[in-house]
Amino acid sequence: MCRIDLAALRHNLAAIRRAIGPGVAVCGVVKADAYGHGAIPVARALAAEGIEHLAVASVDEAAELRHAGIDVPILVFGSVRPDRVREAVRLRLAVTVWSAAAARALADALDPAAPLDVHVKVDTGMHRIGALAGDLSALADVLRAGPFRIAGTMSHLACADQPGHASVPAQIEAFESALRALSSLGVAPGVRHLANSAGAVAWPAARYDMVRPGIALYGGAPSPQLAGRLDLRPVMHLQTRVLQLKTIPAGDRVGYGHTYAATRPTRLAVLPVGYAIGYPRALSNRADVLIRGHRAPVAGTISMDHVTVDVTDVPGAAEGDVVTLWGSDGTQHLDVMELGARAGTIGYELLTCVSPRTPRIYDDD
C-alpha cells in the first residue's frame, strides 16, 4: 500500500511559498495522477491551502478534477484536440498553445461567443514543445483573431536542477526576448511563468509571476545538488508487510538467476511486492528497505510479485511486520529520489509508476 501524508504535502507547499516569497503564485503540478499520489485528494488538499493554480497533462485529467468539485484555475500542459476544445471552455480550463496551425484548428472548433483561455508556450532552448522566436508572429496573428483570451505566457527550463548551469540565464534571456516580441505583436503576456521546482528554488530570476512545482510538493529534491535547499518531507510512503521468514545456510543462493549468495546463515524475509506494482527490478541487490527501524538489503532479483530481503541484522523481525520500501518509518527515511538514481532512472519515474491497483491510504493529520 501507499501511505500518502497530506500534512507533508501542506508542509512542502508552505516551504515552497517561504522560498519564493510573497507576490509569486504557485501552480501545483498534479499531472500523472499527482505523480502517483492521487490527483483528487492532492488537488483538494492544495486547493484548501489556497493554491492559486493547478496543472495537468490532458483534458481528461482536468475533467476528473472538475468533476470532483475542484474549482481552482487549471492549465492543461499537453495538446488538446479540436473536438475537445468546447469541453475545455465549459470546464473553465486554460490550454497551452505553441503553433499557429494548432491554434487555428482550435479557433475553428470554438464557439466565437465563448473564448478559450490559453497560455502561450515559447521554446527558449528546451526544444520540447513551444514556439520558436521565428514562429511567434504567425502565432500572434491567430491569437489576436480569436476567440482566445491570453491568460499566460510560459516556457520550461532544461537544466534548472544544475546550479550555475549556463543554459538557465540564456533561457531567461530568451523568455524576456519572447515577451518583448509578443508585446510588440499586440499580445499581452498574462501570467508569466517559467520555473519548475528546481527553477523556483535555485533561480530567483526565473520565478516571474508564478512557479510550477511538481516534485518539490511531493517532497523530492529535484537533484542531489539541491537537496537540503528546502525543508521537504516525503509525501508517499510505499509499504508492505513481511509475508514469510526463513533462515538459509551460508553458501545458498537466492531468487531468479541465484544472483544473491548468502555469506553467513541468513534470515530472509519475503515481501509480497515486485516490479508489477512499481518496485523496479533494477533495484535488485541495490536497495535497502526499512523494518523495525533498521535497514535491510534487498537480497536477489526482484520478481514480478515478490522481493526477498536480508533481515539477519533486524532483531525480532517477524511475519506481518510493516516494511517501508521508500518514505519514512519513524525516524528512518529512504529517499525515493536516491532509489531512482540507484535504479538508473529518476525518483519521478518510481513515484509515477506505482501501480494504480496499489491502495493509496490518506493520512491527514
Whether residue 256 lies in the annotated active site: yes
Distance CA 123, CA 127 (A): 6
- Shortest distance, CB of residue 199 to ligand PLP, whole angstroms? 8
* Given 208, 218, 256, 275, the catalytic residue: 256
- Shortest distance, CB of residue 7 to ligand PLP, whole angstroms? 20
In the numeric block, which cell numbers belong to residue 234? 516525503
Distance CA 199, CA 215 (A): 12
Distance CA 355, CA 358 (A): 6
* Given 31, 35, 121, 218, the catalytic residue: 31
Distance CA 290, CA 332 (A): 8
Closest CB to ligand PLP among 143 and 157?
A: 157
Q: Which residues bind ligand PLP (CB under 6 A)?
A: 29, 77, 156, 196-198, 212-216, 222
Distance CA 131, CA 101 (A): 11
In the numeric block, which cell numbers belong to residue 352? 509515477
Closest CB to ligand PLP among 88 and 202?
A: 202
- Shortest distance, CB of residue 330 to ligand PLP, whole angstroms? 28
- Shortest distance, CB of residue 224 to ligand PLP, whole angstroms? 14
Please choose, from the candidates 193, 168, 197, 165, the residue with its C-alpha nearest in 3D space to the C-alpha of residue 179.
193
In one-letter notation, the amino acid at residue 349 is E
Helices (H), the chain: 6-20, 31-35, 39-48, 59-67, 85-90, 100-109, 136-145, 167-184, 197-202, 336-342, 347-352
Distance CA 134, CA 124 (A): 12
Closest CB to ligand PLP among 155 and 312?
A: 155
In the numeric block, which cell numbers belong to residue 110? 470554438
Q: Largest Cα–Cα distance in the chain?
A: 77
- Shortest distance, CB of residue 299 to ligand PLP, whole angstroms? 33
- The phi, psi pair for 171, rounded to 5°, reads -70, -35
Please choose, from the candidates 135, 122, 115, the residue with its C-alpha nearest in 3D space to the C-alpha of residue 96.
122
- Shortest distance, CB of residue 220 to ligand PLP, whole angstroms? 8
| Chain centroid to CA 42 | 12
Closest CB to ligand PLP among 46 and 198?
A: 198
Closest CB to ligand PLP among 29 and 122?
A: 29
Closest CB to ligand PLP among 40 and 158?
A: 158
Whether residue 246 lies in the annotated active site: no
CA dihedral 132, 213, 31, 66 (to 10 degrees): -110
Among all residues, whose Cβ is closest to ligand PLP?
214
Distance CA 292, CA 274 (A): 21
Distance CA 112, CA 114 (A): 6
Closest CB to ligand PLP among 93 and 107?
A: 93
- Shortest distance, CB of residue 326 to ligand PLP, whole angstroms? 17
Residues with a catalytic annotation lie at 31, 256
